[in-house]
């Protein structure tokens, strides 16, 4: 019996054929699996479900109940290069149906072989993600723009399976990956597949590569060199397409001498700690910064590069509201919307804060709303900017701007929304859940009420959100009560 598949990775075809074969009780050793062009040669032979006499119709499929883990195993094993993989998978399927004990046999040779094949495929996918290097060429279809092209020789039929990973990882670039079997192209919005290519079609080294080599050389730590592990992790097969591979022999030869030099060298100075943010006297900070108004403060934070966040944000986002407002709310840092619009708490967290303020009858323009950190810190994932919490150093570097703001606004009391704000305002770590809803006091005598950050409410499971919102409103009511 011949079972025909449309290509090397035709999982759906395998499932359909296997079901039909099972329905006809065809034992595995009577089936010959064919893929792609070998299958086309015998296109007119009877399919497994057909009765040669044409006298009766035979069901095309059977329902075989197999563990979900077996289906996941099939998804990976079909990508293996071994031509016997489909025979193995059908044999396993047959045996799972006819030998119930197979499910519980951890050392069955067929199952072990399939698992080893899956492992080898997964390793190959990992290597492709880790060792593929793009080189830049002029993009003929988009004059003036760059196309990134890479050559890679996978061991198994993995190109289609890893393609979505590359599309997610390099969304904003236009790129092509050439392999002997398939080529793959991302035009910025969709993946296109084509026939295989040749190594000679891939571009020669580009200028970016030199930069990468310099970087690799400078981060290479001779004291950590483990040649055997390196060879195992980065087999020689990949070296021709890895620019840094040409450096390895040289760096390895110097490793002993360089690690000796490292040991001889005197210890480097530890990084200077930014003094603990103590809310000493905001007015002093204000004079030291030479700030006389909120406008001057805005101009200063716009220029601020005391930590790296400011470099990447659109603008600084300072507090807004009434001068001498009785309550000043302090959040963590502006989010994506705040960064684009230049105003604090205008995104989803801001809308939740507005609802809570409305619930305690405090108009938003009666209070002052700000953040501990004045720039938006994010990580670019594809086209999306994903919020990243500021580090303690970054929050500490921004503290003097917050203190300036407090000195200018002169609120009667502060409300810290979340742990970052609480730490900045109190000059010590604050366990928000333990200390929320109570008045704390700063060294300068200003009272601080700590509560959750509205984003924490947004992240909660829906069933907990209502109660958490009620508790948040209760904290705000407590804050308002101080003001009488």
DSSP per-residue string spanning 373-431: SSS--EEEETTEEEE-PPPHHHHHHHHHHHHHHHHHH--SEEEEESHHHHHHHHTS---
CA–CA gap between residue 210 and residue 389 (Å, rounded): 34
Give me the long-range contacts of 180-185 (CB less than 8 A, separation at least 24).
180/153, 181/8, 181/154, 181/157, 184/159, 184/160
Give min distance, CB of 313 to ligand URA, in A. Answer: 12
Q: What is the tally of helices (H) and strands (E) in the chain?
A: 19, 15
Contact 479, 465 (CB under 8 A): no
CA–CA gap between residue 480 and residue 484 (Å, rounded): 7
Distances (CA, A) of 245 to 135, 234, 248: 16, 9, 5
* 338 touches ligand URA (CB under 6 A): yes
**Nearer of residues 282 and 335 to ligand URA, judged by Cβ:** 335
**Nearer of residues 331 and 437 to ligand URA, judged by Cβ:** 331
**Nearer of residues 31 and 417 to ligand URA, judged by Cβ:** 417
Rule CB under 6 A: choose which of 345, 368, 378, 401 binds ligand URA.
Answer: 345
* 390 touches ligand URA (CB under 6 A): no
* 319 touches ligand URA (CB under 6 A): no
CA–CA gap between residue 431 and residue 422 (Å, rounded): 9
* 455 touches ligand URA (CB under 6 A): yes
Q: Which region among 6-14, 162-170, 346-354, 466-474 touches ligand URA (by CB under 6 A)?
A: 346-354
Contact 418, 395 (CB under 8 A): no
Residue, CB closest to ligand URA? 331
* 347 touches ligand URA (CB under 6 A): yes
Residues 119-138 that bind ligand URA (CB under 6 A): none
Distances (CA, A) of 283 to 401, 402, 406: 11, 11, 9
Give min distance, CB of 349 to ligand URA, in A. Answer: 4
Contact 255, 222 (CB under 8 A): yes
279: helix, coil or strand?
coil
Number of C-beta neighbours around residue 412 at 10 A = 14
Rule CB under 6 A: choose which of 48, 197, 335, 411 binds ligand URA.
Answer: 335
**Nearer of residues 155 and 337 to ligand URA, judged by Cβ:** 337
Give min distance, CB of 333 to ligand URA, in A. Answer: 6
Rule CB under 6 A: choose which of 333, 390, 422, 476 binds ligand URA.
Answer: 333
Give the largest CA-CA distance in the chain. 100
Give min distance, CB of 430 to ligand URA, in A. Answer: 15
Number of C-beta neighbours around residue 472 at 10 A = 24
Rule CB under 6 A: choose which of 48, 319, 334, 390 binds ligand URA.
Answer: 334
Residues 434-453 that bind ligand URA (CB under 6 A): none
* 344 touches ligand URA (CB under 6 A): yes
**Nearer of residues 183 and 455 to ligand URA, judged by Cβ:** 455
Q: Which region among 97-105, 340-348, 357-365, 442-450 touches ligand URA (by CB under 6 A)?
A: 340-348
Rule CB under 6 A: choose which of 179, 371, 424, 451 binds ligand URA.
Answer: 371
* 349 touches ligand URA (CB under 6 A): yes
Q: What is the contact surface with ligand URA in residues (CB under 6 A)?
A: 331-335, 338, 344-345, 347, 349-350, 371, 455
């Amino acid at each position: 019996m011949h079972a025909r598949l449309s290509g090397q990775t035709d999982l759906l075809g395998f499932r359909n054929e296997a079901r039909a074969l099972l329905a006809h009780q065809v034992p595995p050793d009577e089936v010959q699996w064919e893929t792609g062009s070998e299958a086309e040669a015998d296109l007119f032979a009877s399919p497994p479900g057909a009765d040669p006499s044409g006298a009766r119709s035979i069901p095309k499929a059977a329902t075989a109940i197999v563990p979900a883990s077996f289906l996941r195993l099939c998804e990976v094993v079909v990508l293996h290069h071994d031509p016997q993989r489909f025979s193995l998978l059908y044999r396993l399927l047959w045996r799972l149906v006819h030998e119930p004990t197979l499910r519980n046999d951890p050392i069955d040779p067929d199952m072990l072989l399939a698992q080893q094949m899956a492992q080898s495929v997964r390793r190959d996918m990992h290597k492709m993600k880790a060792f593929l290097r793009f080189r830049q060429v002029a993009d003929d279809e988009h004059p003036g723009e760059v196309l990134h092209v890479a050559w890679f020789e996978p061991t198994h039929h993995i190109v289609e399976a890893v393609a979505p990973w590359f599309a997610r990882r390099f969304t904003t670039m236009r790129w092509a990956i050439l392999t002997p079997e398939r080529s793959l192209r991302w035009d910025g919005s969709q993946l296109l597949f084509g026939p295989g290519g040749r190594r000679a079609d891939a571009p020669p080294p580009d200028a970016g590569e030199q930069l990468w080599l310099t970087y690799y050389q400078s981060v290479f730590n001779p004291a950590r060199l483990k040649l055997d592990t390196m060879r195992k992790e980065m087999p020689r097969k990949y070296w021709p397409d890895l620019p840094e591979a040409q450096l390895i022999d040289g760096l390895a030869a110097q490793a002993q001498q360089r690690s000796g030099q490292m040991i001889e060298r005197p210890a480097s100075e530890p990084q200077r700690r930014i003094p603990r943010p103590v809310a000493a006297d905001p007015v002093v900070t204000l004079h030291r910064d030479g700030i006389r108004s909120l406008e001057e403060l805005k101009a200063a934070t716009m220029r601020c590069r005391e930590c790296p966040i400011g470099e990447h944000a659109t603008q600084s986002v300072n507090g807004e509201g009434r001068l001498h407002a009785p309550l000043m709310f302090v959040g963590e840092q502006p989010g994506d919307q705040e960064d684009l619009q230049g105003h604090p708490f205008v995104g989803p967290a801001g809308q939740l804060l507005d609802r809570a303020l409305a619930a305690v009858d405090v108009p938003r323009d009666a209070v002052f709303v700000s953040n501990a950190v004045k720039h938006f810190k994010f990580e670019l994932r594809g086209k999306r900017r994903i919020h990243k919490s500021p580090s303690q150093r970054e929050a500490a570097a921004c503290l003097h701007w917050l203190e300036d703001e407090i000195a200018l606004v002169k609120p009667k009391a502060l409300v810290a929304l979340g742990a970052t704000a609480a730490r900045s305002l109190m000059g010590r770590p604050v366990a928000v859940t333990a200390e929320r809803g109570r008045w704390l006091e700063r060294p300068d005598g200003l009272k601080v009420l700590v509560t959750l950050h509205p984003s924490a409410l947004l992240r909660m499971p829906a069933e907990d959100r209502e109660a958490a919102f009620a508790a948040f409103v209760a904290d705000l009511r407590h804050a308002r009560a101080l003001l009488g």
